[in-house]
Amino acid sequence: MEGYARLGFDILTYATVRSVARPPYALPNIVFVENRQHAAVALPGAASNGSSTLAVSTGTPSMDPEVWRKDVRRAKERLVRGQILMVSVAGTAPAGSDADALALDYARCATWAAEAGADAIEVHLACPGEGLGLGEMVFEDPKVAVHILSRIRAHVGRPVVAKLGAFRSPRLLHETLTQLAPWVQGFVLLHGIQRRVIDEEGRPVFEGKEREIVAVVGADTYPGCSRQVEEAVAWRKAGDWQRAILAVGGVITVERARQSLRDGADAVLVGTAALVDPLFASRLRGALQSAA
């Protein structure tokens, strides 16, 4: 966190923490891929060929709360004036739990993150509703998502943003954001796209039924991700709600970042770009200053 802060990244997301320790899935859990029509295909040598698209199947791991709470505090101390520390939280509840148990766990994590010094809380809703057996991402059930966000707002006096995944239609995007808007200060759009990942022979790259469909992030996701950002901006212009829109997804070039800002995003977040190009923020800052 300190390193990226010194490199010019001003919104730093500490992602993602839970109320319990959770190990990652077994290796491999991140592979370079090419996003094709029916699946993402892992290609030999993709990393050395400069690919900037990744399939990520880590299982949303987390350090023990006693560890990450101290670490978040240290991270906050390393930032300078004008930089924002956002902590991403995910809920964990026992199998057979109800929505209230999951919401309370989300709120517990958010409270701990705020106490550790987080300037804002990113509520990671683009993940399965653990313990509920939803069979879908949390954000795809607006009623559950609203319950989680309302619990967090009742416990935490920090700005809250909802991290969402890909919507099946513009109508669903509009309806969901409209229902969530009263409980958040903004939206993070969007957390990659869900794809099946295979090798060139058509065999699954990741073992296990829970890993048949995973998040694909990076360069190839930009067309779909940016389109949903544009749709959200359009609904905001229509006056349905006024909330910050933080664009993310496939922004691996300075021009893409500038385009997202021109399209109306309030800020641009990057993940893959920060990995493959640690100087991305300073180059973007230079480009924006030159344009001004």
Domain count, the chain: 1
> What local confidence, expressed as pLDDT, does residue 191 receive?
85
Q: What secondary structure does DSSP assign to the chain, as a single string?
A: -HHHHHTT--EEEEEEE-SS-BPPPSSP-EEEEEE-SSSEEE-TTTTTTT--EEEE-----B--HHHHHHHHHHHHHH--TT-EEEEEE-----TT--HHHHHHHHHHHHHHHHHTT-SEEEEE-SSB-TTTT-SSBGGGSHHHHHHHHHHHHHH--S-EEEEE---SSHHHHHHHHHHHGGG-SEEEE---EEEEEE-TTS-BSS-SGGGSEEEEEEGGGHHHHHHHHHHHHHHHHTTS---EEEE-SS--SHHHHHHHHHTT-SEE--SHHHHH-TTHHHHHHHHHHHH-
**Average pLDDT along the chain, 292 residues, taken 10 residues at a time:** 96 96 94 91 71 90 97 97 97 86 96 98 91 78 96 96 96 96 97 93 91 93 95 93 96 96 96 93 92 80
> What local confidence, expressed as pLDDT, does residue 133 receive?
64
Q: Give me the domain span that covers residue 97.
A: 2-291
Domain with residue 48: its CATH number is 3.20.20.70
> What local confidence, expressed as pLDDT, does residue 44 receive?
77
